[in-house]
Every structure is written in structure tokens, then in C-alpha cells.
Amino acid sequence: MSWIEWYNSLEKPSWTPEPRTIGLIWQCLYPVIFVTFSFVFVQSFRGIVPWVVALPFAINLVANLMFTPIQFGWRNLPLATLDILVVWATIVWMIVAVWSQYKWVALSQVPYLVWVSIASILQLSITWNNWGR
């Protein structure tokens, strides 16, 4: 069964966005993520901000990139739920960590936080509704 057939077979809440909509949202977010994360990493490598400011960005990047293989490759809903909660928590941590140095970077993460909050609730719902599948 393909990943989309598997995903479509899952019991999901009625408010679940279409996969195309989810993809479009990520297409809007990824450029902001790329610019702001790159900026923070460069500032950290240059010694302008301490590495602890870049740490949540690095953890977030790894967790974000791992979600798709966990969810759609391994089809592991509980692990994907844990992963997305790490993504959510590190966004909050990123905003707090970078706020004093670069408020524009912190504020740029708000749409990312809003979307991942919605996606986290969706993921929790899907995992709950399909427990044991």
C-alpha cells in the first residue's frame, strides 16, 4: 500500500486538511524557516550569538526532517506524535532563546508555531483514533 493510500485509510478528524493543503502550508513556511535558521546558524558560527541559541534550531531541524520518514515511511504514529511534540517544543524554545538578540527571527517563527500547533493536535487525534492499527 502506498503512503497516501495508508494515510487515507486512517481515521482522521473531520477538520483534517487535504494533503495538498498541508503541502502548500509547508511550501510557505520552509522559505522562512530556511532564512531564519540559516541566519541563526551563521551568527552562531561567527560567535555573535552563543551556540545555546542555535541549539533549539538544530534540534528542531532534525526533528522536522525526521517526521516524514517516521510517519509515512515507518508508519509509526506514536513515534511521529512524539516527534511533532519535539518540533513544537523546540519552536517555543527557539523563540525564547533568540528573542533578546533578534526579535525579528523570533516573530518569524510565530506562523511556524501556529501551524505546528494545529498539526500537533491533528497528529494526536490521528494517533488516538488509530491506536493499535
Set of cell numbers at residue 39: 541566519
What whole-number distance in Å separates Cα of residue 118 and Cα of residue 123?
A: 9
Per-residue model confidence as pLDDT tens digits over 57-113: 999 999 999 999 999 999 999 999 999 999 999 999 999 999 999 999 999 999 999
pLDDT tier for residue 132 given thresholds of 50, 70 and 90: confident
Does the pLDDT value for residue 49 go beyond 90? yes
Yes or no: say if 51 and 44 are a contact pair by the CB < 8 Å rule: yes
Q: What is the mean pLDDT of residues 124-132?
A: 96
Report pTM. Answer: 0.96
Query: What does the angle CA 52 – CA 111 – CA 91 come to, to the nearest 5 degrees?
Result: 25
What whole-number distance in Å separates Cα of residue 66 and Cα of residue 72?
A: 10
What whole-number distance in Å separates Cα of residue 8 and Cα of residue 82?
A: 21
Q: What is the mean pLDDT of residues 34-52?
A: 98
The single-letter code of the amino acid at 57 is F
